[in-house]
Chain A
């Protein structure tokens, strides 16, 4: 940390978090304004398309938020960069699919599963999310707990686990993307938007509920109080006689649970895919880097930005450069980090 940043850090510590309106922030807002203007012009020409794409972006953001909130919770509290977070997501989808396949006994000649009943959707979902949560807890207790504070080592351990999980997933699940069957109508008629995927809306709803529950948990409960205190100063919390190991265990369980839940939802909306682990690890990374590590609000804003950018760039970019859409993610990272090295809502840790 440079001298200047050191001073700033002290300043922040005494004055509390504060958003400063630097030249960079203004530049960032200007870029945002141009983007909004460009999208606005497009929106005026085809309102239905615009509404659809916006809704796509929002539902995608919902999925991203569920994944990233777990990642940021674990990082903020324990300083563990959980490189296996994408693997947890993928495992959620795979376990749910495999359980559902057992329950529905599909026609071996058909590629898709038959339509699920309520029970044959919820039971796989519950089994999958809870086994992923349990796996997360085991990993934390067996491998990470006694390496507390060794950030690099913990990251390396989770990387090694992610290799093993990815290879085993290919062995047991195969390379073909498969879809989890859902018990409700595939699409629903909405005003303006027209026909829209029901599961996507469910996913958005779940994301909002998860967000509110997490917010309540963090701001209104004793557990949340300890988490917030732990994010700021772990040593002080321990010194006050609080068993922080218990809090760490619960936080890791919760983070893995959220990743698993997102995996099942993502698998029912899109598909379960063996490449999901890398993809969702990247998404989690980008969201928490942009939003600020450890910040729930930051995760929500980051998810929203990434979801909308993904969705708009797929459709609104000119044909010639539509393949380069991922560069927008790159520039989002570059811009945010250039202006705010610790992310939009982050503080030097």
Chain B
């Protein structure tokens, strides 16, 4: 773990590198690697947010991501979808986020009464149901998806000026990262973590456990929704395949690669995943079977290092320099292992 006094300098250095990168690499790399990693990073952050602070592994995040994307596609002018609203993109975006949060609160209200592996199963079921709904309901998703979704004008075309949308994603990423770190220190965030550690005691202390959890799930839905909106801004299209069971699993894989318990792992995991996804194809042994290779990598990570890349990093840094005990996690105990998730 990075010592507290170095956190800001390291953070600023990372952001500085991220700002310079699009001017160094090609437009293709900016769009297909960096921007994609940012968007997937935000989506994975919604998963890690719930896992690290709430002790929940949610597989419903791609579903919520899809709700936001399809909502934008339906509200603005596009090829496919309902075509009846033709709204301004900004209004559509805000409405889409509201819809996503509403769906998230509904699912959260149901799922928040369950724990551990039950929660995982229930959110997976909801995630797949959302995908099936968009697959069947062609008046919402068009035939084979919604295409040519309008982009916000001031960001130009994601194809011609890839660095603009990249910077938008970067800003949102930073906002999500800082927001989650801030949230963890608010009384509400502390209560949420308290429920993770001992729900019975929190209830005895007078906290409304179900309500707090439901709202926290809604916040997770908002983060997933942001990623979903950015995805259609960048990609200008969305189809039921975007939120199929494969992408759902790969989002979980990103979170696992990054390590489920540290929010910055989301972007690290996303970057690693996107690079693997792009480069594996050119490995002769892999060829078309990228998913098989990714699956094997995923299996190895789960078997060898449950903490993901951040877990490897932490175990190395712990060996190098034992951190002073106690104030190891100044940001409200984000690094604390979440019981019930790590497999106790």
Interface residues of A (CB under 8 A from B): 1-4, 6, 79, 81, 143, 147, 149-153, 155-157, 159-164, 166-168, 171, 277-278, 281-282, 285-286, 288-289, 293, 323-327, 329-330, 333-334, 337-338, 341-342
Contact = CB atoms under 8 A, between A and B. Distances in A.
Interface in B187-208: 199-200, 203-204
Interface residues of B, number: 53
Q: Can you list the 4 inter-chain pairs with the closest CB atoms, starting with the nearest?
A: A150-B343, A163-B295, A167-B291, A160-B299
A176 B303 CA distance: 34
Given A3-B200, A160-B298, A289-B118, 15 more contacts: A2-B210, A152-B117, A152-B120, A157-B303, A159-B249, A160-B302, A163-B246, A164-B296, A167-B292, A168-B292, A282-B129, A286-B125, A289-B122, A334-B106, A337-B122
A166 to B, nearest CB: 7
A143 B303 CA distance: 8
A162 B249 contact: yes
Interface stretch (B6-14, B33-41, B134-142, B154-162): B134-142
A347 B299 CA distance: 32
A156 B295 contact: no
Interface stretch (B17-25, B84-92, B108-116, B214-222): B108-116
A153 B136 contact: no
Nearest to A80: B117
A144 B37 CA distance: 32
A121 B245 CA distance: 32
Nearest to B131: A278
Nearest to B198: A1
A278 B135 CA distance: 13
A326 B204 contact: no
Contacts of A324: 133, 136-137
Given A278-B244, A337-B113, A323 B203 contact: no
Contacts of A159: 249, 252, 298
A176 to B, nearest CB: 17
Contacts of A147: 343
B302 A157 contact: yes
A6 B200 contact: yes
Interface string B43-68: 00000000000000100000000000
Given A151-B117, A157-B303, A163-B298, A330 B129 contact: yes
A163 B291 contact: yes
B199 A1 contact: yes
A150 B342 CA distance: 8
16 contacts: A1-B200, A150-B343, A152-B57, A156-B252, A157-B302, A160-B298, A162-B249, A164-B292, A282-B132, A323-B137, A326-B129, A326-B133, A333-B129, A337-B110, A337-B113, A337-B122
